[in-house]
Amino acid sequence: MSETNMVGNENGIALWSLMSSTDDELEKEYFVRLNDAASKFGTVWFTDTITQRETKKNQTTWQLTWLADRSVWEISKFHIPEGVKEASSRIEQYRNQPEEIIELSLEDLIIDEE
C-alpha cells in the first residue's frame, strides 16, 4: 500500500507514512502485521505505538479501509481518547517538515549513450 493511493485524514496518512519507513523494530513488526491484515480483510485500525510506549497513554486510533469502487485506501479518525491530542508531536513534526525541493537541469535528464 503506497501513499499515492491514500485519501482521508491527513494526520492518519502521516502516521501511516511514518510507520512505513520506521527504524523502530517493534513498529516495523506492527506495520507488517497491519499490512497483512489490511490486504486480507480490507479494514484495520492503527495507532502511534511509539508515542504510546513513551507516554504510557493511549493514542488516537485511525481506521484504514479499502474502497474498491475508487481503488483507494481511506484513513479516517476512529477514536481520540480523552486528554489526548489527535496528532502526537511525532506526527506534527513529520507533517510540518518543509518539503525538500530538488532542482534538476536539462543536463541531469539527458543520458549520454556514448
> What pLDDT digit, counting tens, does each position of 20-38 carry?
999 999 999 999 999 999 9
Label residue 98 by pLDDT band (50, 70, 90).
Answer: confident
Per-residue pLDDT, averaged over 78-84, amounts to: 95
In a domain, 103, yes or no: no
pLDDT surpasses 80 at 78? yes
Domain that holds residue 60: 3-98
Strand ranges across the sheet with 43-47: 6-8, 72-79, 61-67, 43-47
Looking at the 3D structure of the chain, how many domains does it have? 1
In a domain, 56, yes or no: yes
In a domain, 42, yes or no: yes
In a domain, 63, yes or no: yes
Q: Quick one: pLDDT at residue 42? A: 96
pLDDT surpasses 60 at 82? yes
User: What is the percent of the chain where pLDDT is above 90?
Assistant: 77
pLDDT surpasses 90 at 106? no
Q: Are 60 and 47 in contact (CB under 8 A)?
A: yes
Q: Quick one: pLDDT at residue 96? A: 87
CB atoms within 10 A of CB 55: 13
Interatomic CA distance for residues 35 and 9, integer angstroms: 18
Per-residue pLDDT, averaged over 39-51, amounts to: 97
In a domain, 60, yes or no: yes
